[in-house]
Chains A and B, each alone.
Chain A
Amino acid sequence: MASVVRPNTWVALKLPSGISRVIQIAPNTTISLGKYGSFPANLIIGRPYHLTFELQDKLEGEDFSRLRIVPTTELYAEIFADEVSPGCSTPTAGANEAAIPTTADAEDYTLIDAETGNVVARSNLATAIDETARQTLTQDEIEELKRDGTNAGKDVIAKLLLSHTALDQKTSFSLAKYKLMKTKKYIRRFQVLPMDVANFANWQLEERDSSRILDMRAEMIGLVGCWGNAHYGGEDVFLEDPRASTEQGQEACAAVQEDLLRGRWLVVDDTCGMLVAALAERMGVLNPEYPDSDAEDSALSAAAAETATEESNTADAQPQQQQPDTEMADAQEDDGLHPTNPHNKPRPSDFAIPYSQTNTITVVHAASQPNLSFLNYWGFDHTAPNHPPHPLLSHLLTLSWLQLLQPSLDTSYSTPPLVATQQELAGWKPSRRGNFHRKRRRFARTRHVVDAARAGNFSGLICASTMDPISILKHALHLLAGGAPIAIYSPTVEPLAALADCFSVPRRTAWTSGQVAEIVGKSGEELERWAGSEDFPLNPTLLLGVSIQTSRARRWQVLPGRTHPLMMERGGAEGYVFTAWRAKPAEGRVEAKGKFKRRKTEPGAVAGAAEGDAEEVKAAAEEA
């Protein structure tokens, strides 16, 4: 993630009211913040994130506001004043504090002028709040002050405070509240925050539609990522281009090489792509790579160069980027006719696989197309036919459940690719030729994605889905490598509890002790692909360490003398995570009965080998 705002990226502008405006920062535009004013976007492009800017008064002859970076000493001026105030408070107040310790926590609250450092107003805790306290400024006067809008709204706030007849009678808390309220309303400041997964999720949760990300809080994103063990899965490995001619069909497709596949995560995402973004961030494939910003302003120049060459770049994207659609196919045809092309690498054939074999995310979706719309915030559009370079292009694989489970029913997988001789091709119209290539490319890609997914051996399974987790596991468990972690998020606990119950001790005991008639005589391979029965929806021996957890971050306000947890926080769905590891049960019957018979306290000759039994045995052993 870049440390400065790049042109055309999404950013969040945090306003004094606490609201974030999420805007795509296009150069040469004016950004309007409503009542807080407007400013040219070029004033924040190329500047670092997290700075607080203040809209300045318009200069003579300029019709826009310039920005000023607010130094932190100014941001924290009031807190600093509070920190020192106990020492310099009035003698009476000091005496009070000493005499009655209960008042010590009610500290003075001061309003100080930012420029001069003078104390403008100070609260007086000796007097009670005057019920008749009034603001002497009329609404019209306030409106006038706002229109003049001088000094980034600080004048309005100061005037409002000074015109309050009973300001000196307010307690520290009510004065603080009053000041905060007025500041939120009038101060013309904002902060630029990067649109990374943490900020995006927070914004989506707090201010937008939390149900679209299934109420997934930051704690849950962290837990799911860690328990799912999602991390960088190794250097990119690409399959060799089979260089198939247009006369060759299916047989020329490069076969999936299972030994090359590693660092792959299977994902079921009903959060519109937020989960995929979080995982991609953990795997280092979310943000487009920029040249190293070591030089003084290479970040800036790179950004500039990028905008300048954007249009020209898109056409001749990197060789591993697929060029999926009709118009592109023609452009590609033409490419071959231009030997002057500076990046004159051989054009990949139709059957070239643009996906890396490692460090990938495979998304299985329930609809015919995946819903990954939130990836737009990171410059990735899943539906774009002609995409500028983006790491997700070669690391994000999507397929539907139908393609995964019954590929023969899927048209794009089962229809053999078109073939044509060079002569035939030459005789076609460009649009037909383009279609021909597009279909062949789509066939090869679908073939690869489906075959690779069905080959299994995934490094982990991570879900945040509205579908029943039992049915997901029924069809995904056998695709996981041994020891692979599983992390399933659900906003509510019930589906996860039902899932965990499938792996309960009584079920495992019954399964391993041969009480289940259906499984008698089945091989280990058959049991791995257990289709489920009413009593045993899943093979209970396929998961280890099944557990459910929930986490909640409690936020605190930390201010001198006023530190406490926040009074209000988000309610709604709590959020739970189911975790487990994929087991490879030993073939045949596993006995576990011999060793404990000497101890009287333990149930001798425990039938069945489930760890649950072992656990009971252990518990008994510890009691003894």
Chain B
Amino acid sequence: MAPTTRQGISPFLEPGPRTKANSLAILQLSRDNFLPVHLQHATGEHDGYAEGVVVNTRFGSFPHSTMIGVPWGSQIRASKVDTGSRGRKRKRLPGDDAGRDENGNEVEADVAELEIETESAEPTTDTPSGPKQAIAASSGFVHVLPPTPEIWTTSLPHRTQVVYTPDYSYILHRIRARPGAVIIEAGAGSGSFSHASARAVYNGYPKEGERKGKVISFEYHEERYKKMKQELSQHGLEGIVHLTHRDVYKGGFLINDGESPEAEAVFLDLPAPWDALPALSRRRPEGAEGADESGKPWVSPLNSKKNAYICTFSPCIEQVTKTVSAMRRLGWVDIDMVEIANRKLHTARDRVGLNMPQDRGVNNSARDVEEAISKLAEIEEKFRQHARPSRSAANTSSKNGDDGKATSNGKGASREEETFTSSRPWADGRLIVRGEPEIKTHTSYLVFAILPREWSEEDEAAALAKYPLGQEQAVVGDMDKASRKKLRQELLKKQGDKKQKKKEKAEKLDEKMDETSG
């Protein structure tokens, strides 16, 4: 496909081989420090920078022009950018917010997290009128990564509690979020789940009248709704995520004025999921208010031909109890509650030993008993040698001295060698794995449940007509050993001369039997 037709596709879904202008990219500053940047072409000087739009980090300045059209994952060197004179210029414009350009777009929204390099770079001679060609600097580098929901989740601007990757990966797996599914999400919050579920259900952008995988998202908080709306359009996800500004407790889950989204999966990140649950029924729930005032028939937001999977996300156990109770009364089955404990592990070299270099993170104590003994003996010996002048018995000292010298010479020489010629610092010490210093011990409780599709008498009658009874020929499943053997022998006989196939089939049959009787 030509690249032009892919222009509108979100970089989250199809980033393409290279970075593009007017598209989101993520700068990795250091291991866990990501910075989302909306790459922009500049035609001339921008916000005081001769190089056009520039990102400033503690690792240097990075004009966008150096980051557009490069392969994803590229290491980008910092450029020599005149930040100093710009800083002075800016002071003359008091109305201008620090680090915000005319558009006030998200690049600048994140600049607050950064430390703007204000120290003077090597001064550039003059400011030409067009965007200046960037010159590499030696202050550092960043890597430019394609956006994924995982990186976005760690770098997004927090508006509410974020649903992190360990939780949403498990949730999406359990609520069967697959390409083509329609998911209701209530409480869009910071948007991490929206991005992850959009990727999960994506199976192409819907053309007019076409039904494709979709996320039906609701957010009641107006500020968050607006932010989210802006984010979705910048990320090219508007065709996948349908965002509505609504309080779902009162307003329910229908879209486009009374139309059912026909969802098959639901994720509720709400303070009171039990208040939203009645609207997620197959039929008009008892005591539903305001539903029939217009005389319209009650419409279920769920797909009537599919089983509905749900997950609710609540931090407190009381919320869980109420939610589960409500689910049971509304006919949800397979109710299951779990909490996810995720741990990140760091690998390191545990460097312990008396002869290790005096370095950060090195424990300069004895590595083992042998080392401790030799060290103690050495000290002992030094002590004795120190004490010797005061004593006059030359005989004994010389005897001891021989012994001591032998040990200290042997050990000491080798130690010195190791200490100062550690040519392979990466291989020193023992490889260890340990948890990160702080762990999230509790995020939220996840309640899963399934609402099977409705099954009426008529459906049953139709199914019965389609698959009539009384023609049963074989028995599948548990059988006693004797009849299983008999069946197998019969099958073997049937196979007759084809020796090769006979063997295979017997094995297959056995396997099947085992599986079914498992």
To the question of whether A and B form a pair in one complex, the answer is: yes
Specify which chain A residues have a CB less than 8 angstroms from the CB of B139 in the assembled complex.
592-596
0/1 string, B165-192, CB within 8 A of A gives 1: 1101111111010111000000000000
Taking a contact as CB atoms under 8 Å apart, the answer to whether B478 and A32 are in contact is: yes
Specify which chain A residues have a CB less than 8 angstroms from the CB of B332 in the assembled complex.
72
Taking a contact as CB atoms under 8 Å apart, the answer to whether B431 and A501 are in contact is: yes
Taking a contact as CB atoms under 8 Å apart, the answer to whether B59 and A592 are in contact is: yes
Report how far A511 CA is from B467 CA in the complex, Å.
Answer: 69
A218-264 residues with Cβ-Cβ distance < 8 A to B are 218-219, 221-223, 225-227, 229, 231-235, 237, 260, 262-263
Smallest distance from the beta carbon of A129 to chain B beta carbons, Å?
A: 28
Taking a contact as CB atoms under 8 Å apart, the answer to whether A592 and B138 are in contact is: yes
B433's partner among A50, A198, A493 (CB-CB below 8 A) is A493
Taking a contact as CB atoms under 8 Å apart, the answer to whether A584 and B73 are in contact is: yes
Taking a contact as CB atoms under 8 Å apart, the answer to whether B335 and A299 are in contact is: no
Query: What are some 30 contacts across the A-B interface (CB < 8 A)?
Result: A3-B307, A7-B467, A22-B516, A28-B471, A29-B472, A29-B474, A29-B475, A50-B307, A51-B455, A218-B174, A222-B170, A293-B305, A297-B466, A299-B305, A304-B466, A485-B150, A497-B345, A547-B344, A547-B345, A548-B433, A551-B341, A554-B340, A556-B337, A558-B321, A563-B321, A583-B73, A586-B77, A590-B141, A595-B137, A611-B30
User: With A42-B469, A232-B203, A481-B72 as given contacts, are A226 and B172 in contact (CB-CB < 8 Å)?
Assistant: yes
Chain B interface category by residue count: 35 or more
Query: From B72, which residue of chain A is reached at the shortest CB distance?
Result: A483
Indicate if A207 sits at the interface (CB-CB under 8 A): yes
Specify which chain B residues have a CB less than 8 angstroms from the CB of A29 in the assembled complex.
472-476
Interface stretch of the complex, out of B124-132, B194-202, B404-412: B194-202
A552's partner among B340, B460, B477 (CB-CB below 8 A) is B340
User: With A482-B71, A552-B341 as given contacts, are A72 and B170 in contact (CB-CB < 8 Å)?
Assistant: no
Indicate if B299 sits at the interface (CB-CB under 8 A): no
Taking a contact as CB atoms under 8 Å apart, the answer to whether B336 and A50 are in contact is: no
Interface stretch of the complex, out of A130-138, A147-155, A424-432, A613-621: A613-621
Query: From A208, which residue of chain B is reached at the shortest CB distance?
Result: B518
Indicate if A506 sits at the interface (CB-CB under 8 A): yes
| Given A544-B145, A595-B140, 4 additional A-B pairs, CB 8 A | A22-B518, A229-B148, A304-B466, A593-B138
Smallest distance from the beta carbon of A581 to chain B beta carbons, Å?
A: 6
Taking a contact as CB atoms under 8 Å apart, the answer to whether A615 and B30 are in contact is: yes
Q: Taking chain A's interface residues, is the majority helix, strand, or loop, or is none over half, making it mixed?
A: mixed
Indicate if A83 sits at the interface (CB-CB under 8 A): yes
A558's partner among B115, B146, B324 (CB-CB below 8 A) is B324
Indicate if B459 sits at the interface (CB-CB under 8 A): yes
Smallest distance from the beta carbon of A31 to chain B beta carbons, Å?
A: 5
Query: From B343, which residue of chain A is reached at the shortest CB distance?
Result: A550
Indicate if A313 sits at the interface (CB-CB under 8 A): no
Smallest distance from the beta carbon of B115 to chain A beta carbons, Å?
A: 8
User: With A262-B14, A484-B73, A554-B339 as given contacts, are A47 and B31 in contact (CB-CB < 8 Å)?
Assistant: no
Interface stretch of the complex, out of A33-41, A91-99, A394-402, A440-448: A33-41
Chain A interface category by residue count: 35 or more
Smallest distance from the beta carbon of A143 to chain B beta carbons, Å?
A: 18
Taking a contact as CB atoms under 8 Å apart, the answer to whether A232 and B307 are in contact is: no
Interface stretch of the complex, out of B102-110, B247-255, B420-428: B420-428
Q: Could you tell me which A residues sit within 8 Å of B by CB distance?
A: 1, 3-4, 7, 20-24, 26-34, 38, 40-43, 45-52, 64, 69, 72-73, 75-76, 79-80, 83, 191, 196-198, 207-208, 218-219, 221-223, 225-227, 229, 231-235, 237, 260, 262-263, 281-284, 293-294, 296-297, 299-301, 303-304, 457, 481-485, 493, 497-498, 500-501, 504, 506-507, 510, 535, 541, 544-545, 547-558, 560, 563, 576, 581-586, 590-596, 598, 609, 611, 614-615, 618, 621
Taking a contact as CB atoms under 8 Å apart, the answer to whether A558 and B320 are in contact is: yes
0/1 string, B492-507, CB within 8 A of A gives 1: 0000000000000000
Report how far A208 CA is from B514 CA in the complex, Å.
Answer: 10
Specify which chain B residues have a CB less than 8 angstroms from the CB of A560 in the assembled complex.
321, 325
Indicate if B123 sits at the interface (CB-CB under 8 A): no
Taking a contact as CB atoms under 8 Å apart, the answer to whether A232 and B204 are in contact is: yes
Taking a contact as CB atoms under 8 Å apart, the answer to whether A226 and B168 are in contact is: yes
Report how far A592 CA is from B31 CA in the complex, Å.
Answer: 16
Taking a contact as CB atoms under 8 Å apart, the answer to whether A284 and B459 are in contact is: no
Smallest distance from the beta carbon of A198 to chain B beta carbons, Å?
A: 6
User: With A41-B476, A76-B328 as given contacts, are A226 and B342 in contact (CB-CB < 8 Å)?
Assistant: no
Specify which chain B residues have a CB less than 8 angstroms from the CB of A304 in the assembled complex.
466
Query: From A498, which residue of chain B is reached at the shortest CB distance?
Result: B431
Specify which chain A residues have a CB less than 8 angstroms from the CB of B450 in the assembled complex.
50
Report how far A294 CA is from B455 CA in the complex, Å.
Answer: 15
User: With A64-B472, A544-B145, A594-B137 as given contacts, are A554 and B173 in contact (CB-CB < 8 Å)?
Assistant: no
B338's partner among A21, A485, A535, A556 (CB-CB below 8 A) is A556
Indicate if B301 sits at the interface (CB-CB under 8 A): no
Specify which chain B residues have a CB less than 8 angstroms from the CB of A284 in the assembled complex.
178-180, 203
Taking a contact as CB atoms under 8 Å apart, the answer to whether B73 and A582 are in contact is: yes
Smallest distance from the beta carbon of B94 to chain A beta carbons, Å?
A: 28
User: With A48-B307, A483-B146, A595-B139 as given contacts, are A556 and B349 in contact (CB-CB < 8 Å)?
Assistant: no
Query: From B3, which residue of chain A is reached at the shortest CB distance?
Result: A259
Specify which chain B residues have a CB less than 8 angstroms from the CB of A223 in the assembled complex.
165-166, 169-170
Smallest distance from the beta carbon of B355 to chain A beta carbons, Å?
A: 18
Smallest distance from the beta carbon of A67 to chain B beta carbons, Å?
A: 10
Query: From A231, which residue of chain B is reached at the shortest CB distance?
Result: B199
